[in-house]
Amino acid sequence: MGLFDRALKDAINKGVQSAVSKAVEGAVRPAADKLAQQTAHAVTDKASEHIGEIKASVNEANAAMAEANEAARDVTPEQWNQAFSYLEGMANDAAKKMKLCPICGEMVKGEMQFCPHCGAKLPDKTLAELALCPNCGKQNPPGSDFCSECGAKLPGKQLAEEAEAEKDRAVLARWSERLPQFPVWSCGGSHFDLAELEEGRFCFSAWFSGDSAAAQRSVRLYREALKEQGFRQAGRYPSEEHLYKMVDGVCWHADTEHCFEGDADAPSLYFARGDEPSGGFDYVKPEAPKKKAGGLLGSLFG
Ligand SMILES: [Zn+2]
Ligand SMILES: [Zn+2]
């Protein structure tokens, strides 16, 4: 559910709740007031003398409550729909004058350039304009991604994608700065994240929106990119999933073994500085001892 839909639903819920509570209050309040008064009296004038009246007031209040419940039950589906489309109309009107902050999700006035809540640059277009089809001109409900008339991508969706691409570019720029030893990711996906888990240890993740085959392909591609930059298998237990490179005496390690321990469409790659494989980077498997010529042939020809 989009931010706008949620805001709309909240508004409707609030409207309905306040209408119901007003109705209940109107019905119950006079009886409750009377009850409170009489209770106060009763306390001062010895409760026992008024017990019968108090009971009557309680009954009166209960009856009023039942009446209010009955009234709420009488609202027909048509009335609910009317209330809903009325509120929807109001929301659509509001959308013409409002913008949605792409960073913190608050609704702000359409004439604002920067979000008063978080300082982010606001889009030029209002919520309604972001749902206006650039292809056929249909005004779609605010928050729509595609035109319900012709299927064209709407400006709001376009803007969200551009903002996402901008964030991804920023992540890759940080990669170049923090992890220059490893080839910068160019294997697809979106919603990149690069986290420094602890000093010298990083985790990078990308998202392939449900396409786990594409996610696996991207990791294979990245292993190729690592090898092209001189990373290789090393140590006592060489593996395609752990590639190492020695630069000026420091061992750099790319770990793609635990890529898919989270979501199948969002690989996580781990990078570490000074992480040597078991047995050491230069580990060489000892050669099997040469067989001595022996046995029957050996004794015949030896
Ligand atoms: Zn904001
Ligand atoms: Zn359209």
Q: Tell me the three state secondary structure of residue 107.
A: strand
How far is the centre of ligand 1, averaged over its atoms, from the C-alpha of 143 (Å)?
17
Ligand 1 centroid from CA 293, angstroms: 81
Residue with tokens 């042939």: 297
Cβ-contact 234, 281 below 8 angstroms: yes
CA of residue 127 to ligand 2 center, whole Å: 16
Which ligand is in closest contact with the Cα of 115? 1
Cα 283 to the center of its chain, rounded Å: 44
Ligand whose nearest atom lies closest to the CA of 138: 2
Cα 120 to ligand 2 centroid, rounded to whole Å: 29
How much is the pLDDT for 288? 73
Predicted local distance difference test score (pLDDT) of residue 48? 65
Burial (CB count <10 Å: 0-12, 13-18, 19+), residue 191: middle
**Averaged pLDDT in 10-residue chunks for the chain of 302 residues:** 69 73 72 73 66 78 81 77 81 86 88 94 92 95 93 94 92 95 96 94 96 96 97 94 94 94 93 92 80 54 46
Q: What is the DSSP letter of 180?
A: T
Residue 230 Cα, ligand 2 centroid: separation in angstroms? Answer: 51
Q: How far is the CA of 11 from the centre of ligand 2 (A)?
A: 28
What's the CA-to-centroid distance between 122 and ligand 1, angstroms? 8
Give the dihedral of Cα atoms 210, 213, 216, 221; nearest 10 deg.
-120
User: What is the model's pLDDT at position 86?
Assistant: 83
Give the Cα separation of 143 and 153 in Å (integer).
12
Instruction: Please tell me the number of the ligand nearest to residue 112's CA.
Output: 1
Residues 6+ apart with CB under 8 A from 12: 83, 84, 87
Q: Ligand 1 mean position to 103 CA, how many Å?
A: 5
Whole-model pTM: value is 0.60
Residue 229: DSSP 8-state: T
Q: Ligand 2: distance of its center to the CA of 132 in Å?
A: 8
Query: What is the structure's pLDDT at 302?
Result: 43
Closest ligand to the CA of 99: 1
Which residue matches tokens 């770990």? 255
Q: Which of 150, 135, 19, 37 is nearest to 83 (CA)?
A: 19
Beta-strand pair 98-100/201-207? unpaired
List CB-based neighbours of ion ligand 1 within 5 Å.
Answer: 101, 103-104, 115, 117-118, 120
pLDDT at 130: 94
Task: Return the ligand number nearest the Cα of 3.
Answer: 1
* Span from the CA of 136 to the centroid of ligand 2 (angstroms): 4
CA of 267 to the centre of ligand 1 (A): 30
Gap from CA of 141 to ligand 2 centroid (Å): 12
pLDDT, position 107:
87
pLDDT at 2: 66
Cα–Cα distance, 182 to 189 (Å, whole number): 18
Q: How far is the CA of 254 from the centre of ligand 1 (A)?
A: 37
Which ligand is nearest the CA of 136, by number? 2
